[in-house]
Structure 1
Amino acid sequence: MSDGFDVLAAFAAHCQTVTVANGPIFLALFLAGLVGSASHCVGMCGPFVVAQTAGRMSALPLEGGPLRHEIRRLEASLALPYQLGRGTTYILTGAVLAAPFSAAGQISGWAYLAPSLLAFAAIVFAWQAWHGFGLHAPTLWSSRLSSMAGPLLKAPFGWRGYLLGLLLGFLPCGLLYGAFAAAAATADPVAAAIGMAGFVLGTVPALWVVGYLGGRAAERWRPLARRAMPYVAGFNALILFAMAVRTTLQA
């Protein structure tokens, strides 16, 4: 039993260490998810969330009055199983991408690996600030994922909603590529997982609003978010560049 507690204590200490060391990256990822979801994700993932909300509402009883109906609508639009499934895909992918760099740093001892990765992630965000967040992936892959998701959308409850999130987490997305680059730049699977968890939390509010109000209502504030996103991406690039310089000087 004590060995188990020791492992948990060591893991908690490591989480605290990487949070302090990578705090600016976590902030950048959260902001990217928060603003980027309003400008980009509502167009890609919004229809799936709206469809899930409609499916959940149609399966709920009508009794209970207007207030109870609105509470149920809020719960349905959150699409919690879907959000958890999507988050699982993002978090695990971020950790897997960071693992090789962690191993390479421990084996080679190359002091400039971390700043090089941070600089690359900064370039990705800077490029996206200038060019936007295109898909940059074959449409065939998106169409195939959408067709596979069709049966799950018919009853997106419980484990089916979770599987739907796992599956659609692989949709090609330029914003997500930038987040993965920043997560991998930590060169630590735990830090990458925490950073991607922050990114996921940032994307939830916009998708929740879309599920509750519908796609047409979201279009009213989407242009504002689109204008803000290049500035957020540029801010993230500056953060990552500053961390790359600081890490270089400490090497």
Structure 2
Amino acid sequence: MITSALVLGLLGSLHCLGMCGPIAFMLPLDQSNMTKKTIQLSIYHFGRLLAYGIIGMLFGFLGKGLALFGIQQKLSIGIGVIMILLVLIPTKYLNGHKFLTPVYSLLGKVKSKLGGELKKKTPDAFLTIGFLNGFLPCGLVYMALLGAIAMGNPLQGGLYMMLFGLGTVPLMSLVVYSKGILGNSIKNKFRKLIPVFVVIIGALFIVRGLGLGIPYVSPKPMATNSVTATIECHQP
């Protein structure tokens, strides 16, 4: 299940180009020195992965808390259902709600900070840009976070998000170096695959929660063994 994050990142890279691509194109990379440019871009990606890892751990804690109530299987099924519904429900019904106002306010602060860092060329600036980039709202990231919750473990949740971020690195880097090598027709074809794969991942989480006894995919829940202690009192 955890490897699904890497595939989601790989397939979702084209979506990332629309969200994070403009930031990647504006990076103050050293165009005269390929080695230095590669190091700068790597630092930027490391910042993104670090942000994803931290967020994944936080949501993994949330999943662990829910698992402590003995609803790990129900949680997996519920998250799978939510993933599928988010693909099927039009985006217009999810936007414009008042409860999102704090999110938009935070987003404005992150963008403002990003604008200042994009004017610098120091290594810490590339790290900061990547780190802040990781906190920008993105529908695909939200899907990955649902997977991090389903992991039910902080470390696995962090790993899930970092693998997701790692999956976006190859195409994001390729586009920065090639200045838009992919045509719009290819991008559109890949974008159509993203919802399909999200539905497949959602279905896998549902199957996992059903406990069908399929190794690595849907293992049976561990039986809870009860221990009964009998105390006998002997009269003298």
**TM-score, length basis structure 1:** 0.73
Which residue of the partner structure matches residue 194 of structure 1?
Answer: 159
Equivalent residues in 2 for 1:165-176 (5 A)? 165-176=130-141
Native 8 Å contact 2:44 2:127 kept in 1? yes
Whether the 8 Å CA contact 1:83–1:204 is kept in 2: the answer is yes
1:124 aligns with 2:95: no
Contact persistence 1:81–1:162 (CA under 8 A): yes
* Shift, 1:128, TM fit: 3.5
1:145 aligns with 2:145: no
Q: Give the number of aligned pairs.
A: 209
Aligned structure 1 segments of 4 or more residues deviating by more than 6 angstroms: 132-135
The alignment partner of 1:250 has SS state of coil
Kindly indicate whether residue 61 of structure 2 is the aligned counterpart of residue 86 of structure 1.
Answer: no
8 Å contact 1:99–1:189 — kept in the other structure? Answer: yes
Conserved? CA contact 2:29–2:121, under 8 Å: yes
The corresponding residue for 1:221 is 186
Map 1:1-251 onto structure 2 (within 5 A): 24=1, 26-38=2-14, 40-52=15-27, 55-58=28-31, 60=32, 71-72=34-35, 75=38, 79-106=41-68, 108=69, 110=70, 113-131=71-89, 136=95, 141-215=106-180, 217=182, 219-246=184-211, 249-250=220-221
RMSD, aligned CA: 2.7
Alpha-carbon displacement from aligned partner over 1:42-83 (angstroms, at most 9, x marks no partner): 00100111111xx2134x35xxxxxxxxx449726x711111
CA offset at residue 125 of structure 1?
2.1
For structure 1, which segment, 176-185 or 113-122, has the greater mean C-alpha deviation from structure 2 after superposition? 113-122
Whichever residue aligns with residue 90 of structure 1, its letter is: Y
Deviation at 1:105, TM superposition (A): 3.6
What are the Cα deviations for residues 118-158 of structure 1, in whole angstroms up to 9, with x where unaligned?
12221232123324778955555444322220111112441
Identity within the alignment, %: 23
Q: Deviations over 1:170-228 (max 9, x none)?
A: 11111111111111111111111111121111111121122112247464521111111
Larger proportion of helix: 1
Q: Output the CA distance in 2 between the equivalents of 1:156 and 1:171.
A: 21
1-side partners of 2:106 and 2:29: how far apart?
Answer: 27
Given the two structures, how large is their TM-score scaled by the length of structure 2? 0.77
User: Is the alpha carbon distance of 1:103 and 1:237 closer, same or farther for their aligned partners in structure 2, counting shifts above 3 Å?
Assistant: closer
Matched residues in 2 for 1:149 and 1:215: separation?
Answer: 23
User: Unaligned stretches of 5+ in structure 1?
Assistant: 1-23, 62-70
CA distance in 1, matches of 2:72, 2:143: 17
